[in-house]
Amino acid sequence: MPQSLAQVHIHLVFSTKNRAPVIHDEIRESLHRYMATVLKIHKCRATLINSVEDHVHILFELHRTVTLSSAAEAVKKSSSIWIKTQGAEFANFAWQGGYGAFAVSKSGLPGMIRYITNQKEHHQKFSFQDELRAILSEQGIEFDERYLWD
C-alpha cells in the first residue's frame, strides 16, 4: 500500500495525584478546551473530554504518526503546567503518574460518548477506583492493586 491509513479511537483516563478533588466547575471547561488544543497540536482530534473532581476521561483519535504514550504525556504535562497558572489553590497540582488507555471500536463510539458524557451521574454511585477496576476487568487487563494508585 503506497500510503498509511489509520483510524484509532482511544479512551484515555487518569486521575489527579492521590485523587485530590480539585477539578472544580470554575476551571473544568477551560481545562477541557486546553486539553483538546494540546491534542490538536499533536495531530490528534479530541472527540469528547469530560471530568469530575478527581479524574478526566478523554476520547480522541490517535493520529497514525503519534504514539499513545506521547499523546498521553503531552496532555498530562501541558495541562498540569496550565492548571498551576489558574490560581494559588493549584500551585501543587499534579496528575497521577500513570493512565489507562483503551481502544474503542467505531461501533462502540456512541456508547462511549454516552458513558463519558454521564460521568457526573455515574460517580454519584461509583468511585474512581471502582470505575477503573471495572474498566480493567472488562478489558481483561491484569493489574496489581498495590501499583494502581498514587
* Three-class HEC string of 42-61: CCCEEEEEEEECCEEEEEEE
pTM confidence score: 0.92
pLDDT at 131: 86
Kindly list the strands in the beta sheet with 100-104, ordered across the sheet, starting from the edge strand earlier in the chain. Answer: 45-52, 55-62, 8-15, 100-104
- DSSP labels, 113-147: HHHHHTHHHHTTT--HHHHHHHHHHHTT----GGG
CB 73 within 8 A of CB 99: no
- pLDDT for 124: 85
* More confidently predicted of 44 and 2: 44
Whether pLDDT at 38 is above 90: yes
Would you call 146 exposed, middle or buried from its count of C-beta atoms within 10 A (0-12, 13-18, 19+)?
exposed
- Structural domain boundaries of the chain? 8-147
pLDDT for 45-101, tens place per residue?
A: 999 999 999 999 999 999 999 999 999 999 999 999 999 999 999 999 999 999 999
Query: Please, what CATH class does the domain formed by 8-147 belong to?
Result: alpha beta
